[in-house]
Amino acid sequence: MTSSLVIQTSFLGDTVLTTPLLTQLAHRGPVDVVTTPASAGLLANHPAVRRVIAYDKRGADRGIHGFLSLAKRLRREKYDVVFLAQGSWRSAALALLARIPSRVGFSTSAGRFLYNRRVQYRDDLHHAARLLMLARPNGREATPEELRPSLHPGERERAFVDALLGASGAVRGEALIAFAPGSVWATKRWPYYPALAVELGRSARIVIVGGTEDAELAKAITEAMPTAIDATGQLSLLASAELIGRCAAIVTNDSAPLHLASAMGTATAAIFGPTVPAFGFGPLAPSAVVIGHQALACRPCDRHGPQVCPLGHFRCMLDLDAEGVAQQVRSLPSTPDSDA
């Protein structure tokens, strides 16, 4: 039995895409995960995870005292190996000070000089596959089944979603389509979700997922389609995954809900503006369509998506009209009024 630690303190979507790695490692022995407080709840109930350790590096654990306290805590666990899914100097130093004998990370990571095994970072792979390669010394690429991320909402999450839908007047068995209009990166936000709600809201109930910061985006959608259900800021991430899992489809920007949908197996229409799936963060749902402006020479312009269009025209999003996106959504086989 090998005891493993995984350090993943990147974005929410990265945590979801780390779950195939966790699942593989669990076959070898117990697996603990160091992650951010925001991501910690996502891994609740996950059968591959023994313990989730929240590292609040910008809050309660800020500074050298919090860092050394966590290193001391990890040292007591006597892990055999640590996988650096997040490759900063801080994560590498944490693994070193925890005295974990085998430290595995990517050869391109900032903290690579503190690793004793370096794995090639494959630009040609999906990020979930890249992360899984950390535990593949033979270099075998993952099958689609091995690559699918996974989340495990429990009774608590199901109860929250039942209550929200009930309070909103949704009828049991009613077809639902999720919208995820938000992103921390402004140029990743497709602007025509209200018009899309009018296009798709005739055959399904629209439910809007996101955080409290997405409230204004949700308000614009509910003003265009009053029957839409605004769930922004009302559910935990894991409960949001439960809600997405109940939907026939989701329309989402290149943001965390895309990966929640992949984990829940929900048909996905993913809208990519300044970024492209070739970066490794496209949908992994069994049924998915990627929507993007293929003719623009300026795409992609950034690995994440800048806050403003560098050229000022924002055509990568503005040229994707609601009618065209609605057609793509209807092409998904599970969508009401599907063309498939």
Per residue in 290-336, pLDDT tens? 999 999 999 999 998 999 999 999 999 999 999 999 999 999 997 87
Task: Give residue 187's pLDDT band: very low, low, confident or very high (50, 70, 90).
Answer: very high
Query: Does CATH number 3.40.50.2000 belong to domain 4-147?
Result: yes
Ordered by start, the domain boundaries in the chain are 4-147, 155-330
Pick among 2.60.120.10, 3.40.50.1220, 3.90.226.10, 3.40.50.2000: CATH of 155-330: 3.40.50.2000
CA dihedral sign of residues 273, 41, 221, 339: positive
| Strand pairing category for 176-180 and 249-253 | parallel
Same fold, 4-147 and 155-330: yes
Give the pLDDT confidence of 254-273 residue by residue, as tens digits: 999 999 999 999 999 999 99
Predicted pLDDT of residue 334: 79
Is the pLDDT higher at 171 or at 213?
A: 213
Predicted pLDDT of residue 338: 63
Q: What does pTM read for this prediction? A: 0.96
* Beta-bridge partner residues of 32: 5, 51
Give the pLDDT confidence of 102-157 residue by residue, as tens digits: 999 999 999 999 999 999 999 999 999 999 999 997 888 889 899 999 999 999 99
- What is the spatial distance between Cα 133 and Cα 149, in angstroms, rounded to a whole number? 14
- What is the spatial distance between Cα 184 and Cα 4, in angstroms, rounded to a whole number? 32
| Three-state secondary-structure class, residue 165 | helix
- What is the spatial distance between Cα 106 and Cα 111, in angstroms, rounded to a whole number? 9
Q: Considering the chain, what is the average pLDDT of its residues?
A: 96
* Beta-bridge partner residues of 4: 31, 81
Q: Exposure of 308 by Cβ count < 10 A (0-12 exposed, 13-18 middle, 19+ buried)?
A: exposed
- How many Cβ atoms from other residues are within 10 Å of residue 218's Cβ? 24
Residue 210 has pLDDT above 90, yes or no: yes
Q: Read off the tokens for 105.
A: 């990370």
| Strand pairing category for 4-7 and 81-84 | parallel
Please answer whether residues 200 and 178 qualify as being in contact, where contact means their C-beta atoms are separated by less than 8 angstroms. Answer: no
